[in-house]
């Protein structure tokens, strides 16, 4: 698929392609890994390396003499820890080539067309809209994470934290994934704004600064949520410690209640000749033991330790 830049972003059919030698407008080529070499030749870009999307592991930009090469490694909002969208992009003075084995880029471009009808589209604006389009819902996502953490904290305060670890661990991992992702986007935006090869118009590199600022805000929000997650985990640890202390206190009280019985039975187990009640079945000892237990239970209840 080919889209022309200029007065607007418009999909170009093969029958509409200008002949060689004509003044061609800037274009965006969207292709798969299999058709990447043909698209690069058509966009007049020379790239000697292999185009392999499976090698992509993060977002970055690399400047070469003939073109600028970059990669996007975009988490899926519904499955942040799962498989990501892997996309390569190439830029020279005239054209942009997007290599994407899925229909993700095509869907993004369609959304850009709907939102920017009859608006002038340059290479810089296109890349700006493209990047901001796949992060435009991220702030809403982070707000949802904040609500989930608040709900966890509330459950802890109410004493309902049975499944806390199974709920908390994925949230923390996903936030760590997003933090790394936004950090990579910030570096990518700065690299584009630097415009080392001069492929972008100087007056329009400000759009990449906006990308950097937006990624920075998202990263700051994510860092704040990670700090909040740490506070929630500390609250849970305090809750666990309090429960353990309560259990230990209960066991200590039980031991204290029955310790006198151990002492009494130990004495009478010695079977000394002159022990009182030794010849009459220990009714007094049994009564004394029950009385001691009842008195200790009443005492600890009064002290609110039982």
- Considering Cα of 11, then 17, then 20, then 21, what sign does the dihedral take? negative
pLDDT of residue 76: 93
- Considering Cα of 43, then 45, then 50, then 55, what sign does the dihedral take? negative
Q: Which residue has the tokens 């415009």?
A: 195
pTM for the whole structure:
0.79
Contact at 8 Å (CB) between 54 and 32? no
Share of the chain above pLDDT 90, in %: 53
Residue 21 has pLDDT above 50, yes or no: no
pLDDT confidence of 16, banded at 50, 70, 90? low
Share of the chain above pLDDT 70, in %: 89
* More confident of the two residues 205 and 291: 205
In 3-state terms, what secondary structure has residue 170?
A: helix
pLDDT confidence of 272, banded at 50, 70, 90? low
Q: Locate the domains of the chain by residue range.
A: 1-117, 250-302
Over the stretch 128-170, which tens digit does the pLDDT of each residue have?
999 999 999 999 999 999 999 999 999 998 888 888 888 999 9
Fold of 1-117: Beta Polymerase; domain 2 (3.30.460)
Q: Which helix (H) or strand (E) holds 237?
A: helix 206-269
In 3-state terms, what secondary structure has residue 3?
A: strand
Q: What gap in Å lies between CA 190 and CA 280, rounded to an integer? A: 95
Residue 20 has pLDDT above 50, yes or no: no
Q: What gap in Å lies between CA 5 and CA 19, rounded to an integer? A: 17
pLDDT of residue 280: 58
Q: What gap in Å lies between CA 35 and CA 22, rounded to an integer? A: 24
Over the stretch 157-211, which tens digit does the pLDDT of each residue have?
888 888 888 899 999 999 999 999 999 999 999 999 998 888 999 999 999 999 9
Distances (CA, A) of 76 to 92, 181, 278: 29, 12, 81
By C-alpha distance, which of 115, 121, 99, 106 is closest to 54?
A: 99
Determine which of 37-51, 81-95, 187-201 has the lowest per-residue pLDDT on average: 37-51
In 3-state terms, what secondary structure has residue 71?
A: strand
């Amino acid at each position: 698929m080919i889209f022309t830049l200029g007065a607007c972003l418009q999909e170009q059919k093969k029958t509409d392609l200008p002949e060689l030698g004509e003044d061609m407008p800037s274009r965006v080529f969207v292709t798969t890994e299999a058709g990447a070499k043909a698209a690069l030749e058509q966009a007049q870009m020379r790239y000697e390396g292999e185009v392999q999307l499976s090698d992509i592991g993060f977002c970055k930009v690399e400047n070469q003499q003939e073109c600028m090469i970059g990669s996007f490694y975009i988490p899926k909002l519904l499955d942040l820890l799962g498989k990501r969208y892997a996309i390569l992009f190439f830029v020279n003075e005239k054209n942009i080539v997007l290599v994407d084995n899925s229909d993700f880029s095509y869907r993004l471009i369609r959304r850009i067309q709907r939102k920017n009808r009859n608006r002038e589209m340059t290479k810089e604006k296109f890349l700006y809209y493209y990047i901001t389009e796949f992060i435009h819902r991220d702030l809403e996502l982070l707000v949802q994470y904040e609500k989930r953490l608040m709900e966890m904290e509330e459950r802890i305060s109410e004493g309902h934290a049975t499944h806390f670890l199974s709920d908390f661990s994925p949230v923390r991992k996903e936030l760590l994934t997003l933090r790394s992702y936004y950090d990579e986007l910030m570096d990518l935006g700065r690299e584009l704004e630097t415009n080392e090869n001069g492929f972008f118009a100087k007056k329009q590199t400000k759009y990449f600064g906006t990308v950097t600022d937006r990624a920075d805000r998202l990263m700051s929000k994510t860092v704040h949520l990670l700090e909040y997650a740490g506070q929630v985990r500390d609250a849970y640890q305090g809750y666990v410690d309090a429960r353990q202390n309560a259990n230990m206190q209960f066991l200590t009280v039980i031991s204290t209640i029955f310790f006198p019985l151990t002492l009494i039975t130990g004495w009478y187990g010695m079977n000394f000749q002159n022990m009182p009640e030794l010849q009459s079945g220990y009714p007094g000892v049994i009564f004394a033991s029950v009385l001691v237990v009842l008195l200790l239970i009443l005492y600890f209840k009064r002290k609110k330790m039982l």
